[in-house]
Structure 1
Amino acid sequence: MCLMPTGSPLPPSDLRPEPHNTAITGRLNWLRAGVLGANDGIVSVAALVVGVAGATTATAPILAAGVAGLVGGAISMALGEYVSVSSQTDSQRALIAKERAELEEDPEGELEELAELYRARGLSPQTAHQVAGELTANDALTAHLEAELGLDEEGVASPLAAAGASALAFFLGALLPLLAILLPPPEIRVPVAFGAVLLALAATGFISARIGGSPALRPVVRIVAGGALALAATFAIGLLLGTSGVV
């Protein structure tokens, strides 16, 4: 316990706030959607435009491919995230409704179940009953959802919000390689795009690691290596198709 110079404990307002499980879960969910969306946007559109640039130096085909990849990818990410989060949300709401019904039908049995959960966690029978009783009196549904299922009724994700966040992240990520390939002169556009994309991937890997509280080196190396491989592969294919006269 932190002490003031006089030896008395710090007042509650001066204590460092600790993160709660629901806050961490919500932050990680948004982080996952944002990072996946941005990374997909960067890598997929970069690979697409670099591949076309390997086949031709004309700007129009590169622009058309990049815009198509950006729009189609953003919509695809939004739909995928919407379906995924909707399934998760439906399951969570079904569990919440089931728990609410059980509390209405058998409150005493649910109280005993809650006390048993706290006994299983190491509390004495008397303390477990006291804790269960006080939590039930305050908010029975919240107490059971947290203890039994690890759920928070207020923390159920919004499918529309998740879809919008994924689409926006993909769009912003995809915009960078598109501009990096279009703005420079044709003779240096591919190296510039490679450099911009790898720097952006390193930044997203670093940011995700910092927000998640993990060391940054491994995720940065992993994401940069994967992006470099994707760019090299599509550029080589485009170059092969272009020099062979197929396109």
Structure 2
Amino acid sequence: MRLAVAICSALALAGCASQTVAGLGLPAAVHPPSASRAAPPAAAESSTPTAARYLLTQQDVPSSYRQKQLPVIPAPSGGAQMDQVITPAACRSPVTLPTAAIRPRTTFVDQTSGAVISSTVIDPADGGPYASVSTFRRTTLGDCATVTVAGRTGGKPYTVTQLTTELPLVATGVPQAVAVRRTTLTQLASTPPERDTASIALLETRDAVIQLVATGGPIDTAVLQQAIDATAAKMR
């Protein structure tokens, strides 16, 4: 059983930007290829069009991946509902400003496995857990590597647990960078927990943060490292 996007919008976990609780671990409007095909806004409409040069292109990903236009869903603001308990409480994510709703992005889907890899421009001025590598580390690693949110929806209790581990991936020439694998377990009442896994990388430069996400199929760190290498080369 899946929970509505209203729960996601209330949670303060870093990366809560999905239509269903099974996708709470997915950041910045990353969606599986089965989602409806609403074209995202052009990069020129963003306040950070110059940072779009850091985004992945077709030549940056394996040949089995093809570029797709996937729907953009605004990132919800941080802040917990009164009936939610976040453990540890200090791991509540910073609030994401409304301007973070639309940013340039490119998305590629593997034609065989259905895996998805995307790159998104994050403007540091937007705030939120992805505003900088240091903020992301503070809200998702260390004492915040395991975060649980408990609450109720429709009169039924739910528990969402995020487990995050750092990946030994390298962004050559980009001193501010981090890569993680995140597993999100979501349980509503007595139903079996749903699991969602994503690999995420952040590369920070003076004018933007680029978020890379691999999800939706077998998570291949080699594919994410290829995307990191290509992005780092653009940022150097």
Higher percent of residues as helix: 1
Could you say which structure has the greater relative contact order, defined with CA pairs below 8 angstroms and 6 or more residues apart? 1
TM-score when normalising by structure 2: 0.25
TM-score when normalising by structure 1: 0.24
Structure whose CA Rg is larger: 1
